[in-house]
């Protein structure tokens, strides 16, 4: 029997009123947070792996236990899929060896995204599957679209896909994309399966929660030297 999963609850009735200011601030002031040594080393190892193939790149950002990375690699056998997560314990869970066209990397996403952008990476597809919604209104800056790293996420380009069980998260993300790029993302309800991409997706769907998806095709571009000076 499937147990009901917890529905996201928030003190926000709709998209955050401070979203535009947060996005504009992130665009005006590139993030200068120092890159952690372990993230730099992980990125260098991922770069070496990436150089061994000319296959188009897929980024699975915040891949958790890595099942989504494995399933994306199976769905796109002619692509190179890199899954990134900061948790060693999650990545270390035993789910079998990844396919040959997949790599799991332990790194801070904030670092990895900026290093990838500085290195000129241009993923064909970029997935953010069920990121932590941080549903309290006071935590907007912790959601990816309210975080200072957001411009780097968009600048990597490619087909971006975000999935969530919180409609407001997806609506906010779409508004943030429009503010930063003047592009309209597609927002739609999602009925996944029978092969779920993540354990969260399976849990939410099987307990009857509505799921949401954002998709948007972005053009990659570089950022100024100010934004990369500390990398």
Residue bearing tokens 């147990």: 3
Q: Which domains does the chain have, with CATH numbers?
A: 19-228 (3.40.50.150)
Instruction: Please enumerate, as own/partner, the contacts of 94-100 that have beta carbons within 8 Å and a separation of 24 or more.
Output: 95/65, 95/66, 95/67, 95/70, 96/70, 98/66, 98/69, 98/70, 98/73, 99/70, 99/73, 99/74
**Do residues 73 and 79 lie in contact, with contact meaning Cβ atoms separated by under 8 Å?**
yes
Tens of pLDDT, residue by residue, the chain (231 residues): 345 678 898 999 899 999 999 999 999 998 999 999 999 999 999 999 999 999 999 999 999 999 999 999 999 999 999 999 988 868 867 667 889 999 999 999 999 999 999 999 999 999 999 999 999 999 999 999 999 999 999 999 999 999 999 999 999 999 999 999 999 999 999 999 788 999 999 999 999 999 999 999 998 774 443 344 456
């Amino acid at each position: 029997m499937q147990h009901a999963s917890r529905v996201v609850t928030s003190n926000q009735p709709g998209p955050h009123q401070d979203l535009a200011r947060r996005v504009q601030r992130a665009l005006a002031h590139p993030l200068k947070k120092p890159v952690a040594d372990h993230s730099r080393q992980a990125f260098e190892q991922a770069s070496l792996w990436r150089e061994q193939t000319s296959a188009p790149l897929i980024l699975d950002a915040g891949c958790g236990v890595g099942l989504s990375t494995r399933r994306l690699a199976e769905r796109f056998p002619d692509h190179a899929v890199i899954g990134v997560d900061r948790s060693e314990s999650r990545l270390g869970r035993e789910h079998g060896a990844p396919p040959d066209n997949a790599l799991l990397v332990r790194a801070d996403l904030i670092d990895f995204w900026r290093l990838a952008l500085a290195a000129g990476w241009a993923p064909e597809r970029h997935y953010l599957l069920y990121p932590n919604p941080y549903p309290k209104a006071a935590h907007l800056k912790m959601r990816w679209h309210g975080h200072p790293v957001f411009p780097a996420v968009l600048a990597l380009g490619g087909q971006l896909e975000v999935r969530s069980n919180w409609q407001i998260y997806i609506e906010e993300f779409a508004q943030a994309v429009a503010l930063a790029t003047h592009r309209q993302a597609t927002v739609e309800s999602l009925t996944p399966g029978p092969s779920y991409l993540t354990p969260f997706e399976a849990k939410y769907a099987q307990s009857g929660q509505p799921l949401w998806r954002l998709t948007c095709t972005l053009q990659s571009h570089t950022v100024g030297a100010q934004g990369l000076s500390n990398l």
